Amino acid sequence: MTDKISDFTTGTQADTGRGDDNYAGAYATERETTEGRIYNVTGGDWDDVLEDATSDERIVINMGPQHPSTHGVLRLVLELEGETVTQARSVIGYLHTGIEKNCEYRTWTQGVTFVTRMDYLSPLFNEAAYCMGIEKLLGVTVPARAQVLRVMLMEINRIASHLVALATGGMELGAMTAMTAGFREREECLHLLEFLTGLRMNHAFIRPGGLAQDMPDGWELAVAEFVKTMNKRLPEYDKLLSGQPIWKNRLIGVGYLPVDACLALGVTGPVLRSAGLPWDLRKTEPYLGYEDYNFEVPTSTAADSYARYLLRVEEMHQSLRIISQCMKKIEPGPVMVEDGKIAWPAKLAIGSDGMGNSLEHVRKIMGQSMESLIHHFKLVTEGFQVPAGQVYMPVESPRGELGYHIVSDGGTRPMRVHVRDPSFVNLQAMPAMSEGGLVADVIAAIASIDPVMGGVDR
């Protein structure tokens, strides 16, 4: 007989041209449900996968998924000969949340609360890329004030993310003072973000069309104080770590990945820039007016873990420069598009208890025409329609190129949301960085990649 296999994109049957009756068993089985066609996909058994790794001289160990040095629930299967790693594999999927699929069952605005939870150390970048993709499909331009505020919020978030990379990397290598100092400075970032957006993490503050609301009173002073504090504290990391002999011995020459390997694996972010290529989307493919900001893209040619540490410290300095320029660029104006069919929440006014709408706002809505009240209700419950089409919107996250591929069928919900998460792609470099080195150096290599498993598994 001639076997047929399912074409996953069209749902049609494709001829394999093979006569083996068991051949189709290697493909996913399918069944029809009320939600559409469902495929049952299962992975191979790890005992079978690792058969080639077993020998008398070598042992196979699992590092993780519950291990303090694997940046979350990442499982590393390491084949060792003595203390030397001869083969390394990464196993993911322990933090799968189905966020991409869930976006298909929510309105465009509600999707923001999902995507912000992917890479939970840099949530504002997910929000910005997702919303910019929607705005591109809509053909709308975000007000200038909202663009500047988006840049400012993302750069504060970049500093917070790099501080976690530095702090957790120090903790994993035994530099406990680096950990305590890193999280101390990160608290400064989170306190500021909480003041500006209302939440420390998973803000859902960047919305399609602009921002949820304008900045609170006194925000300029709070941001200026933050920049002053961070400019004072960041040089302390150079005193604490940059010249420290133990820190340098643990990182220099470890996790080496040259530029040709980075390009072959699709690696971006500090790992790519540590190999000498100044690829930063804020410079190479500017968005949100980044072309008007004066900042540098630090690079190195060492291509090792120490170079990535130095780059992240320098990138924090550059982010502070951008934040200071945002303060000078900001001008009065709206933070949401004027189109009442998109802007949601529309002209929000918080009640005196900090929750719900103020009575004045409710009276204003109720006192308007019945048509406007119905429109407001439909906008909140059903959402707005986005013209049919697809778009890919990349931004430069703290870990590299974060891209959103969004497909619309013209309805009030996304047809498809797929994310190119930099942690997922960069994690491919782990074997190339680790094989041939010591087990202890695997820790340094993983820390220099700085993967976030929420973004990897999504």
Q: Are residues 36 and 125 in the same domain?
A: no
CATH number at residue 141: 1.10.645.10
Mean pLDDT across the chain: 84
Contacts of 52 (CB under 8 A, 6+ apart): none
Q: Are residues 19 and 153 in the same domain?
A: no
pLDDT of residue 6: 40
pTM check: above 0.85 = no
Whether the upstream peptide bond of residue 65 has omega within 30° of 0, thus cis, is yes
Residue 211 is given by DSSP the state E
Task: Calculate the CA dihedral of residues 238, 243, 249, 254 and round it to 10 degrees.
Answer: 40
pLDDT of residue 368: 67
Q: Are residues 103 and 36 in the same domain?
A: no
Residue 136 lies in a domain: yes
Q: Are residues 33 and 156 in the same domain?
A: no
pLDDT of residue 135: 92
Q: Are residues 28 and 170 in the same domain?
A: no
Residue 34 lies in a domain: yes
Residue 311 is given by DSSP the state H
Q: Are residues 161 and 243 in the same domain?
A: yes
Residue 155 lies in a domain: yes
Residue 315 lies in a domain: yes
pLDDT of residue 426: 92
Residue 241 lies in a domain: yes
Contacts of 201 (CB under 8 A, 6+ apart): 120, 123, 190, 193
Residue 325 lies in a domain: yes
Q: Are residues 30 and 150 in the same domain?
A: no
Q: Are residues 217 and 290 in the same domain?
A: yes
Residue 214 lies in a domain: yes
pLDDT of residue 12: 42
Q: Are residues 117 and 244 in the same domain?
A: yes
| Per-residue burial over 85-94, b = 16 or more CB atoms within 10 Å of its CB, e = otherwise | bbbbbbbbee
Q: For residue range 80-124, what is the model confidence (pLDDT) as tens digits?
A: 888 888 888 888 888 888 898 999 899 988 899 999 998 889 999
| Structural domain harbouring 324 | 99-339+384-457
Q: Are residues 239 and 310 in the same domain?
A: yes
Residue ranges, the chain, pLDDT below 50:
1-25
Residue 82 lies in a domain: no
| 85 vs 81: CA distance, rounded Å | 7
Total domains in the fold of the chain: 2
Q: How far is CA 217 from the centre of its chain?
A: 29
Tokens of 297: 């893209």
pLDDT of residue 346: 52
Q: Are residues 20 and 117 in the same domain?
A: no
Q: Are residues 22 and 135 in the same domain?
A: no
